[in-house]
Structure 1
């Protein structure tokens, strides 16, 4: 017989035919030898114990699993040899087995022994009975399941990592859509808690008080009582508190158990809001070297902050920092836009008021100059009549400037208001030419207005189109010197009509072609300006043209003059 492999308990019985129930007959020598060979060669550890719970069988695999020779194991109490999870637990299993109880399976961890790593063993107990069916001992099958358990743990860890990765992707996507600090805080707290499995969470912005002290302002929480949130909504950054230490040192503070709480933060371990929690993670939110906030997660159960969890928390903090920085920029942009819009409204209201006030005296000038020309108060000399006509031209020019300001000030948010109708192009050109000709002649600028096709009609606002052409002619006159030439004409271009104003003026550099259409833009600035105006003419011309479905285009170069063309849809 092989050492440690002999069965010595009870009275073995032979199995019936085809593996049936025992016959009550003892096994033959051949059967007994086969049984002992099977036990000896088993890949599992096999041990047996008698009614006194002492080992009676210890196969070679048991020797390898527990590193205890059979000679040392036989006759010893089984509870001294098997690994135990808790005091008395293995003894209970043996007691139940000896009483003839049902088969029990236990899992035990065998601690490290020397260079041998810890192993996980699975123990299956089976009661043994004598020929009369009375309990006569027990059998234990011991299997090394370390590899299986490691694979299960690795699979579970991989599943948790995949789940966290999926949740992190969802969190990142939600953060990319968050446009305010409040929205960022909501995503971080709620989705962060779900991703990490926390029971409570909060995001506290770092603020500087008027006294220069730093304090937290909690902007979002979950899992804490309302009175706790109210109490801690504003609280100072105080050394010796976990989140304060995290933002001060700029490193996470991770507390896995209540014991760590007590060891590191004894003064606050039992202070609200912490008593109900065991695990804690405090994360500093840092962007561009500046601490923006602190995020905390609390857990009702102890945690294992392994490398994968730490990496996840670091990534979460980084995403939060980017989102808060982005939200801050969004809010600053919104505030700046609101301020600019308020300033623009105030400017528009001022311009509208001043323009209305200016029209009153200008209308008076127009009325009295008309009375003078009608000679109701007596005849005028040729020189006097010329002076009054100059006065009228100046009044009309100033009134046109006032109209430009009013047009600009009265725009709504969608641009200028227009009333479209079928408009005869020749009539628009005639009206604009009659108003511009005297001013151009006064500057000794030749003005040409070739006859337009009387059939040309456009879909436009007649008054607005006249204002556009007037502004283009006025602009040409300002920048064309005496002896120059201005030409006003129109032609059909497919489904549109192009009304062009050509001049032989100074010309405009290519890089300024778009800038000249900005409101209040003038290429000449300062006291050396030779052309007057508000800088609104071209801006209003383009805006009105676009409101009518067209545009104003420019072709120009220094010293080569300019061509401004208003293109509007053909009727």
Structure 2
């Protein structure tokens, strides 16, 4: 048996609910359609950014226009506007999407491709509104904004202009004030005006002070008699009062003011009335310059001018001044006397018209040179106006003219001519003396060569006899031969010295300069005089020098000088009171020079002889009974050689104590 079960469910509510939902969906779709149509047709740039990636799902035409003509629909905001990377917009969108808090700002700077022609700076009033779903979750952002680029640029330009104007007023040295009608209250003042008038806008004392602003009395130099000044006081015809009450333009009027601090100042005042839209005077723009110091300086300048004039009238020099057209502006009494012209006849007249004889002269050329080059000159010439020798100085003046001083130097020129003749005679005598000296040097050179030949023969024959070539030689004869050879060698040395001196004096010595180690040079000289030191039992010390220290010298000439100095020290040093004599060599250095000092404990040199020992044929001990031999050329030759190498040789001595000879040569 079969059963039929019939189940019935009441779905009325569900059907009604589905119908309501369908109606709501339809209504929502219609609403969204209307919203979409409104958004697309809106004049304001608007876009719908969907999802956390901010994809531009809905973009109206106005938005496309401010996007540089790009169709960004369907792109994420980063894809649509990659040039905004580094600007804050991506972060702002993320924050609004995450927090649901709307964001808005005005005149936001944006750098992007606004017109499709490249990056530029633009400005927008922007707003981001979160869009929520039925559950209240944010699923999109509504972006809309207004392009205010042109307005913002205009505002920024106006602000920059205002700031420039404020900066100009701030730094203007002239006081600028806006004085309000009718009392002249200072409503705006720049720092210069505050400093001049002594009040700050809106300060407590301004009101009382500004009531008196129109009542300052005229200062010194203001036009008008005392009666006129009294009339102006009674009628309030002061500069600022005329500008405020009568609308008059006031230009550079001098007034004396008394500031709130009691200081009295002279002010040059100008005022221009400022009118409102109805043409009524609303105030005055006042410019002011504190001329107190200027007036004081003008007074001092006049006093100084008077003093200068007094000086120019009293000086011994003739003086005159001309302007840029060579017209006389001043002539002093001395110039009048030399020219024999009255100054009243010259002032205002043309120089070259009054003195045509000077045209083309040296003075004419010099005046025009200073006028064109604006540099002073000083010269001496024979005046074409007086036939006197004159000393002239011409200076350019700031105003374009010239200031000229001149004096009569005829007596001095006469004396100079006489002196020059005497100098010429002296030069002739000196030339004759030099010629004689050259003849003496040549004679010495020739005689030295002539004497060396027989002396060399004497030495040779003495050696042959000593060797027994001419027969046996006794001890007495051998002693005599030794003395002959010693005398021959000594005489050869003297002749060699004379020959060296003649060559040095004649300028025939050549120098082969090189870097010579100081220590090596001293050691070589020491080795050559060591036998003499031992023979006389003298002590010797060398302070040493760094191995890297070199001097610039001719090595052979340096050895000759050192041997001469050491040889002289050995020659003139002997034991004293049982104490052996001593010779010391020391070295000192400065930035450019090396100094070698040879000190001895010898007899010393008398002060009157110290300056002469470097002269040829001069010896400190000139007695006929002197113990030391020589002709007195060693030091003269040594100093000349030192100077020839760019150095010098000097001496210091104390009689009975010893002497120090210092050789100075350039440091390598």
Bin of the TM-score, shorter chain as denominator length? 0.3 to 0.5
Larger Rg: 2
Greater relative contact order structure (CA < 8 Å, 6+ sep): 1
